[in-house]
Chain A
Amino acid sequence: MTSKILIRNLYKIYNEEKENQFFALKDINIEINNGEIVIIKGVSGSGKSTLLALIGALSKPSRGDILVENQNIAKLPDIFSSQYRNEEVGFIFQSFNLIDGLSVYDNVKAPLVLKNIKQSELSEKVEEALKLANISHKSEQMVSNLSGGEKQRCAIARALVHAPSVILADEPTANLDRDNSLLFLEILKKFKELNKTVIVATHDVIFDNLTVADKYINIQDGVVL
């Protein structure tokens, strides 16, 4: 299998060369293959969210490379890193990060408005994503009226709508009850079926010892154990 994501000598340093210098990530080296489901385990503040943000080009590293299919996304100018995010990456955040005041449909279609596709094609893709995430019945609802689990499913639909190859989930179960957390594990299986490369950063124990997971990475104090 070709390596989908290759991280070499990755550092993230805050306040570099100042007195209060802080190493959020120190010399990270990780290889992730296509279609793998990777669970990154660590407590709060261990650096796993930072790592995810770097892989998703939400921030830039202080040192090192992040190669996604041999393209180094570490130092891409904004136009290209945004393009990368819009085509290759789907995010699922702990606090869902949906746009209040918009409906589920409008939230899910957001990544697609940047592309120059026909209105009909756009609707098709949105409906497909809503179906996959099992939230089609709430498509016209305002997101503020949804329950936690439903918001999560809306976020999942949005993360799938533009058919990215990589899904990044940051503490996806932190704001969910147990039933919905277990539902998320089912979604992971669906991701596997769709051959998505998934990276989940979490400290939730329900992710331990999953058959569907291909790799476990432990992080503590910014270093891979």
Chain B
Amino acid sequence: MSLFLLNDIVVFLFIEIILFVLMFISEFSVLRVIKHWDFNASTTFQYSLEKRNYLINTIIYFTVSVKLVIFVFFVKSLDELSPLVPGAMCATGVVGANSYGNILLLFKIFILFLLGIWIIINKLDLDSKVFPYINEKYYLFSFIFVLICIEMVLEILYFLNIPLSVPVFCCSTVFKLDNLPFELNTLGLILIYYALFIVITLSSYYKNNLISLFANMLFLFTSYYSVTYFFGTYIYEVPNHQCPYCMLQKEYHYIGYFVWFSLFLGVFFGISPYVIESIISKKYHLLHKYCIFFTTFFVLLCTYFVLSYYLRNGVLL
């Protein structure tokens, strides 16, 4: 009996296949447009290409919305799967059940990020009257489509290879690191964390795209470790419980979703101005305020748990 027949998995893969088919249809139109687009031509053919543009837009808006919902559903399903996979007590065991799990998760986040960028560029393209970014837009789309093909393959490989009889590792084993990277101790890590936060706020306030890009990327990396090895322990109130996934569970009031999503959104809005600028070869300075908003929310949320524990117990873990 394979995991494939689980309700959740069947539904999940069904929806992913539908989205894949929709994107596949779009890709045909995209290739056509890239090949023949000529805004200055007044032929019926050119006008039909413009109409195809709207089809692709519609499909992508629909796909992005559904992909977001499905992503949350995916993460939740991983959590729900843990009783079935021997040895797993939370999503860690399920994700780590085979070598495809972590890559798949990262892929999904990356694809969502690129789709977000695509939507912003699309809005810019439509707002002007001459479709200036049509080529950039569609090359980006084709790239995303290739990634989605790979994602589909990864998904199937992942679900096919989840062992149901061999125990997997639980978070207590997986996240038991003696050293943090670069031989940092926890204090050093947290200092860098807050320092980066200040850099991000400043660079967003002064609208410096490049610094914002680097600061956010470093922040993403740092936050992953900070949340897993420091802030997480204050959410669980157990010094050795170091796990990024357990906080998604009901017993912690699903706070994990807020923590990770605010981080991802903040980083997205911090990184996108530079990426968009380099794609459209024009200055772009919007979205910085969203970066500040979400990153601040994230940092406040993490800090709250530490403070709340300290205020209640008088000591830190």
Contacts and interface: CB of A to CB of B under 8 A. Distances in A.
Contacts of B129: 76-77, 80
B210 interface: no
Given A77-B126, A78-B54, A79-B126, A60 B42 contact: yes
B165 interface: no
A26 interface: no
A79 B126 CA distance: 8
B123 to A, nearest CB: 11
A61 B46 CA distance: 12
A9 to B, nearest CB: 12
Contacts of B50: 77-78
Contacts of A60: 42, 47
B129 to A, nearest CB: 6
B131 interface: yes
A104 to B, nearest CB: 32
Size category, A interface:
10 to 19
B42, B47, B51, B129: residue with the most chain A Cβ atoms closer than 10 Å: B42
A69 interface: no
A61, A75, A78, A79: residue with the most chain B Cβ atoms closer than 10 Å: A75
A29 interface: no
A16 B43 contact: yes
B131 A62 contact: no
Contacts of A77: 50, 126, 129, 131
A63 interface: yes
Interface residues of B, number: 10
Interface string A75-109: 11111100000000000000000000000000000
Nearest to B126: A79
Interface in B241-284: none
B42 A62 contact: yes
B163 to A, nearest CB: 52
Contact of B42 (A63, A78, A79): A63
A80 B125 CA distance: 13
A64 to B, nearest CB: 9
Contacts of A62: 42-43
A80 B131 CA distance: 12
Given A77-B50, A78-B50, A61 B42 contact: yes
A76 B126 CA distance: 11
Contacts of B39: 75
Nearest to A59: B47
Contacts of A76: 129
A77 B52 CA distance: 12
Interface string A1-29: 00000000000000010000000000000
Contacts of A78: 50-51, 54
Nearest to A13: B42
A78 B47 CA distance: 10
B135 to A, nearest CB: 16
A77 B50 CA distance: 8
A95 B168 CA distance: 73
Interface in B20-50: 39, 42-43, 47, 50
Nearest to A74: B42
Contacts of B51: 78
B127 to A, nearest CB: 9
Nearest to A79: B126
A63 B54 CA distance: 24
Contacts of B47: 60
A79 B54 CA distance: 10
A78 B126 CA distance: 10
Contacts of A61: 42
B258 to A, nearest CB: 31
A72 to B, nearest CB: 9
Given A75-B42, A76-B129, A78-B51, 16 more contacts: A16-B43, A60-B42, A60-B47, A61-B42, A62-B42, A62-B43, A63-B42, A75-B39, A77-B50, A77-B126, A77-B129, A77-B131, A78-B50, A78-B54, A79-B126, A80-B129
16 contacts: A16-B43, A60-B42, A60-B47, A61-B42, A62-B42, A62-B43, A63-B42, A75-B39, A76-B129, A77-B50, A77-B126, A77-B129, A77-B131, A78-B50, A78-B51, A80-B129
7 nearest A-B pairs in the assembled complex, by CB-CB distance: A62-B42, A80-B129, A60-B47, A77-B129, A79-B126, A76-B129, A63-B42
Interface of A: 16, 60-63, 75-80
